[in-house]
Amino acid sequence: MTILLRAESVEKSFQLEGRHIEVLKGLSLEIEAGERVAIVGTSGAGKSTLLHLLGALDQPTAGEIYLQGEALTTKSHDELAALRNKRLGFIFQFHHLLKELTALENVMMPALIARVSQAEAKRSAGELLERVGLSHRLDHRPSELSGGEQQRVSLARALINRPPLLLADEPTGNLDGSTSAEIHALLESVNREHGTALVIVTHSEELAQSMPRRLVMVDGRIDQDDKQQMKRDCADA
């Protein structure tokens, strides 16, 4: 399989009130194209920090992250912005939709930033919103949508530029059980139908168990990797 994303000896630390705080401690991993990966662990283990680094929203203190073979730390601010726009999709717990825009306009925005024509962006956004069951909500603003509907808009927005990788931070954290299950199913169908790789930080054991690969983080390191364990088991067999 093709390696889509690779982190090598990644460290992340902060200075807080005169204290040196290490969040990530020499972490390495590889994500293959089309993989579905859950990242789990207790609060403070470094899950969201890792996701932000993988998504080029922040830079590591040490180490390197490669997306499709390209080193992220060597890129300029503008280059990283273009990379995020075209090759990465993001879903966050609190949606981050623009409140003054309609659902359709929110989904169109990344395509317009990528210089897609307005007509094409509108067509693609409409198709994606129909795909996530919101064809009847195109002209509604976020305040007029339920939490589950807002998350569906976020998913459509994340997919409009057809990125090879979708990163999600607690995508069902604020949703009820049935709505969470619907979002789980949509994410799985996106992976199956389009080959989009998924890396999801979650506290939901149900969501984590539904993913073929689970990474358990403890104190800034990967303590358990189902994929590596399978390789060791096969080698010992």
Per-residue model confidence as pLDDT tens digits over 119-162: 999 999 999 999 889 999 999 999 999 988 998 899 999 999 99
The 3-state secondary structure of 126-155 reads HHHHHHCCCHHHCCCCHHHCCHHHHHHHHH
Q: Looking at residue 235, what is its pLDDT?
A: 46
User: Which stretches of the chain score pLDDT less than 50?
Assistant: 232-235, 237
Q: What is the dihedral of CA 194, 168, 136, 112, to 10 degrees?
A: -80
For residue 20, the SS3 value is strand
Question: Tell me, what's the pLDDT at 18?
Answer: 83
Q: What does the DSSP 8-state code read for residue 185?
A: H
128 close to 159: Cβ distance less than 8 angstroms = yes
Question: Which run of H or of E encompasses 123?
Answer: helix 118-131
List residues bridging with 37 in a β-sheet. Answer: 199, 213
Instruction: Show the domains of the chain with their CATH numbers.
Output: 3-236 (3.40.50.300)
> Model's pTM, two decimal places?
0.88
Number of H helices, E strands in the chain: 8, 10
Distance between CA 187 and CA 212 in Å, rounded? Answer: 13
Instruction: In whole angstroms, give the CA distance from residue 38 to residue 32.
Output: 13
